[in-house]
Chain A
Amino acid sequence: MEPTTQSKPPAPGNGGTNGHTLIHLDGVTKVFFTDEVETHALSGIYLDIRRGEYLSISGPSGCGKSTLLSILGLLDSPTDGKYTLNESPLEALSISDRTRIRNREIGFIFQAFNLIGDLTVYENVELPLTYRGMPGSERRQRVQEALERVGMSHRVKHYPAQLSGGQQQRVAVARALVGKPSIMLADEPTGNLDSKNGEAVMELLRDLHREGATICMVTHDPRYADFAERTVHLFDGRIVEETRA
């Protein structure tokens, strides 16, 4: 690994997006107000993520990794700063538009899989597409492709409870990629898996990246952080280090 820059404002003329930049964070801060106490979860994050890049975010517990991922996934809004996705600023969007962009541009992979227990594997994977109003035939084709891609097409009628943890996370990966999002956000995707299944999921993500997917992964496990091309290290809500594989 090779140390690169620390988190700081870009030099003038170097802070905008270029043709390859998918996400651009410009001075993003996040402050939580609770009982008259201000908690600065993120303090001035400047970060670009290029198309096709595999980025990992690491750091100790409470450093702001998950908050940053939530903001990237449009599940939360920054207190200050700018967030540009596909050259579109996102600050002024309505909740409905943010939901729509989340559905089309972002795929989530959670540590706890977050599959819905009452839905079959097929229905879980199909879920993001149903919210797009996509025709049934197209949905079927996409779901089939996604499940084949993660090697779970033989379990379409199973319920999550009938699968192992590794299999559930593969289904979750299929659900993340079925909508062909611009970026997949993975939050500790191996956190609930044993090392064998963890390895398998990481291999799957690497394969997806090799096929062109943009991935941003939060992990505190250095072994898995090394799967990424670039790793940003957070500490106390700031990017303190950036390394490249």
Chain B
Amino acid sequence: MSTLFQDVRYGLRMLAKNPSFTVVVVVTLALGIGVNTAMFSVVNGVLFDPLPFPEADHLVAVHGSKPNFLRGSISYPNFLDWQKDNHCFSAMALYRGTGMSLTGLGEPERLRAEYITSDFFTILGVKPVIGRNLAQGEDGIGAAPTVLISEGLWQRKFGASRDVLGKTLSLDGRGLSVIGVVPASFHLDSVIAGAMDRDVYVPIGQWGNNALTVRGAGLGLHAIARLKPGVTIDQARSDMSVVTQSLAQVYPDNDRGLGATIDPLKESVTGRVRSILLVMLGAVGFVLLIACVNVANLLLARSAGRSQEFAIRAAMGAGNWRVMRQVLVETALMAFLGGALGLVMAAWGTHSALAALHVDLPRAWAVGVDAKVLLFTLGISIFAAILFGLAPALKITRPDLVETLKEGGRGGSGTRHRIQSAFVVVEMAMAFVLLIGAGLMLRTMARILNVNPGFEPHNVTTFSYAFPPALAGSSAETVRAACRQLNQKLASLPGTEAVSLSWAAFPLGNEDDENFWMEGQPKPPSAYEMNWTLTYVVEPGYLKAMGISLKHGRFFTEQDNPHSPPVVVVDEMFARKFFPDQDPIGKRIHLNNTDQLAEIVGVVGHVSQWGLDSDEANPLRAQLYHAFGQLDDAPMKLSASGIGVVIRSSVAPAALIGSIRKATGELSSDRVVWGFESMDEIISDSLASRRFSLMLLGAFAATALLLATLGIYGVLSYLVGQRTHEIAVRMALGAQKRDVLRLIVGEGMVLALAGVGFGLVGGLALTRFVSTLLYNVQPTDPLTFITVSILLAVVAVAACFIPARRAAKVDPLAGLRYQ
């Protein structure tokens, strides 16, 4: 043990003696270990850690499976029946996100709200900070109006006073009594993928939407449930299958073809980023390997300088293991220093990076350094120490003592050069693979950005608007008049070119659908057998505001009002699907929701509803437009609590926001406007996870390229230093500077091209793992492979050029003296 301490002391002295070498090695390792620790902390927080609820593996997400959606919404009546009839869940709860205007507590404010049923928090095991959860029956229609508020809102609006319990909050003009405060430690994105934390949780019975009691209504309601002890998820699926089939017999009109999709809650929350994160974890593994190879090369170079020291030790009787241990102790010290610095970098940088990247990452708040991350860092530090320390350690165990002692430590054997060259080839190959991954992502992004969304996004502003709460109890006609007034006010703003209010679906945002059947055909026995379409409710200005093309017929006019015959406009996809080889203009369809017969008066271009990269993959693409002016009284009244607005302007969206706030404020000081976003931003946000993959993989590839470049530069620099004499001989024999340049660059390029060759093979083998992240780009995309090959070759030439120039400047006379 004492000799080990001696080795540690000597190792520390050696590190201190060569500070620049130590710094280079430690920083290189810190970079490799740091990005791995950071990525692992993300993967650990998001994927590996269980959800922060008791017995979280018993939690499941429940959706209604419909003809077009495997994970569609559940109607409230069906939910009540599922809750009552199932034998697999100890409890079920429904939820639906919404927004509500808070008035009476300072400036009117738009709050994030979630409609829930009674068991929502009890299923999750979340206890209020103060107060209580919803009691059974408190969530029903007609129950006393209650609300749970978030700890944040409690602190912000009530100064964290316990007196809040029993106080009334005015939400959308209705008074709800506060019964509890939800702890800040509860994050909704542990339940719903990508959900932001809510300000208020309102019993669903308080919604006031008449459609809530309609069994066939798709209102965006989804459920969570807790499996009974001992019940597996497959058993739950079977049980719910029995339940839904039974309901289909009782309510064939609405429930025929309807099923229940049950997913583990963890998978539901994190499933969409799982493959991305695992690919990234693999990618940073490459970065660590490259860092280790680089350090191994540096150590090999240094061991050449220390070969005489090791030979003397061996000559003094030190055994192979004893000398090897000395080297391994030094490498372990460097690895631990690198690991510690990497850990600091990861702990400090991960959250900053996630924030800077605007990543739409579920459970990002759970990312941090915990015991598992510390263990991981320790593990990879040891792994790195073995990996980069082994080659130099093994090398010194086979010294030619006589020659080494004679050489006086000049060293520089051919074997060492070959190992170093092999290392360079390996790191170039790995950098190539990462660059291919980043290149494919870049090509994918370029392809997606070239997709025509079907609308013209520039200078289009969208936002949400809630009329004053006083309007909530007004007649539909009053709301219609308020909508007209809002439209006119916005249309009069300088720079405004077109305005439309919007309800139901919105491209890359809200989703809404409805079913119908053709005129002249019998009504299908169930909704399942009807035709499905996306549904948009818009004003005449919508087409111009969004920049959607009119293909045929006409769009809506002010004359399309509640008193005129119902008309609809369809998109090309709708026309092709339901009226192949026919002109849909003049045809009429039965709308199931409103039980109206509506005439198709126009055909417009298709817009990407589901995303630029995923629209084609979605089975529900047909699009149907209703005239906002013809909206039924019930939904018209509901729209008072929140409606979308889209404006095309001649000025940039950012410049319009102030005048929108001012103009709407002139209509009423109690109005709430929120959620300003340009269509360009909406498109950009829709690509957030792709951008995340691209930026991460790009950063890793750039790091790998930098390390590999430093590697090839370092090895060539070292070789040039070792070959000064040889170069001098060549120059004495007549080699011009260009001959020497060609010689060194050529040798570097042989290594680089070998790396490219192996990288090609590796790339072809490994890119299939990113195929799910690609869009309209083959994993073997020739352009990417060729471009990356050229890029790597050019970078390698640049890296070779500096040592080559130094070689070309060798003074042959001085070089020949260097013997």
Contacts and interface: CB of A to CB of B under 8 A. Distances in A.
B813 A116 contact: no
Nearest to A104: B734
B734 A100 contact: yes
A95 B737 CA distance: 9
A144 to B, nearest CB: 19
A200 interface: no
Contacts of B735: 99, 103, 131
Interface string B723-748: 00110011111111101000000000
A116 B736 contact: no
B734 A128 contact: yes
Contact of A100 (B725, B729, B730, B736): B736
Interface residues of B, number: 17
A61 interface: no
A96 interface: yes
B668 interface: no
Which of B725, B726, B739, B813 has the largest count of A CB atoms less than 10 A from its CB?
B813
Which of B730, B732, B734, B739 has the largest count of A CB atoms less than 10 A from its CB?
B734
B733 A108 contact: yes
A49 B337 CA distance: 66
A70 B732 CA distance: 10
B3 interface: no
Nearest to A76: B813
Given A75-B812, A76-B813, A99 B729 contact: no
B816 interface: yes
Contact of B736 (A70, A104, A108, A131): A131
B450 interface: no
Nearest to B414: A118
Contacts of A117: 414, 726
Interface residues of A, number: 24
Given A116-B726, A131-B739, A73 B734 contact: no
A175 B819 CA distance: 20
A19 to B, nearest CB: 27
B412 to A, nearest CB: 10
Interface string B793-819: 000000000000000000011001001
Nearest to B819: A112
Nearest to A70: B813
Contacts of B737: 95-96
B734 A99 contact: yes
B733 A73 contact: no
B819 A108 contact: no
Contacts of B816: 75, 110, 114
A157 interface: no
A110 B245 CA distance: 98
Contacts of A73: 732
Contacts of A75: 732, 812-813, 816
Contacts of B813: 70, 75-76
A123 to B, nearest CB: 12
A100 B739 CA distance: 12
A75 B732 CA distance: 7
Given A75-B813, A118-B414, A96 B736 contact: yes
A168 to B, nearest CB: 13
A117 B410 CA distance: 15
A216 to B, nearest CB: 15
A127 interface: yes
Contact of B732 (A96, A100, A102, A118): A102
Interface in B708-731: 725-726, 729-731
B300 to A, nearest CB: 18
Contacts of B812: 75
B747 to A, nearest CB: 10
A181 to B, nearest CB: 10
A104 B819 CA distance: 25
A132 interface: yes
A132 B735 CA distance: 9
Contacts of B732: 73, 75, 102, 108, 114
A104 B739 CA distance: 16
Contact of A128 (B726, B733, B819): B733
Given A70-B813, A112-B819, A118-B414, A175 B733 contact: yes
A165 B192 CA distance: 81
Contacts of A132: 734
Contacts of B734: 99-100, 102-104, 128, 131-132, 179
A112 B725 CA distance: 11
Interface in A179-208: 179
Contact of A116 (B730, B731, B739, B819): B730
A99 B728 CA distance: 12
Contacts of A128: 733-734
Contacts of A99: 731, 734-736
B723 to A, nearest CB: 9
A114 B728 CA distance: 10
A99 B730 CA distance: 10
A132 to B, nearest CB: 7
A106 to B, nearest CB: 9
Nearest to B736: A99
Interface string A88-114: 000000011001101110001010101
9 contacts: A70-B813, A73-B732, A75-B732, A76-B813, A100-B736, A114-B816, A127-B730, A131-B733, A131-B735
6 closest residue pairs by CB, A with B: A103-B734, A131-B734, A75-B813, A114-B729, A128-B733, A131-B735
Given A110-B729, A114-B725, A117-B726, 16 more contacts: A75-B812, A75-B816, A95-B737, A96-B737, A99-B735, A99-B736, A102-B732, A103-B735, A110-B816, A114-B732, A114-B816, A116-B730, A131-B730, A131-B733, A132-B734, A175-B733
